[in-house]
Amino acid sequence: MLKDLGICFACGKANPHGLRLDIRKTAEGVELDYAVPERYCGWQDIVHGGIVAAILDELCAWACTAAGGNAVTAELTVRFRQPLRVGQRFHGTGRVNDERGKLTLAESRLTDESGMVIAEATAKMMKVEAVVVAGV
């Protein structure tokens, strides 16, 4: 069984070095609004692609949780459509598309304020048992 200690790099509120994403449940899955700080840049003024992938991955994982189960990533395919700029506000969404035995198929997307797609991902998520540790 996996334990959530509140220190996840992407969503952990107890991780002072993490992104501290505030992901919200919706009728379709999950969403967030965020701007990545400069400390996570790759090239000047552009967010590192690994950070973008981590955000997409986290949206897929939380979509699984919102659908009633916890999951870890078995496979993630990312398509980068345009650079995400440091400090640029974006909207992220994640949803579950299908369940196949122990796998949940999910997708996520980041869009800019005009609705243009920044990046998107599809994921195969492996269902797991997890517990949140009290006090975090």
Alpha-carbon distance of 66 to 57, in angstroms, equals 14
Give the CA-trace dihedral at 34, 86, 41, 57, to 10 degrees. Answer: 30
Write down the pLDDT at residue 86: 98
Alpha-carbon distance of 65 to 95, in angstroms, equals 10
88 burial (CB, 10 Å; 0-12 / 13-18 / 19+) is middle
16 burial (CB, 10 Å; 0-12 / 13-18 / 19+) is exposed
pLDDT averages per 10-residue partition of the chain, 136 residues:
87 95 97 97 96 98 94 97 98 97 97 98 93 54
Write down the pLDDT at residue 2: 78
pTM value?
0.94
70-80 and 117-128 strand pairing: antiparallel
Sorted by where each starts, the structural domains of the chain and their CATH numbers stand as 23-131 (3.10.129.10)
Amino acid 33 reads D
Tokens matching residue 126? 């492996």
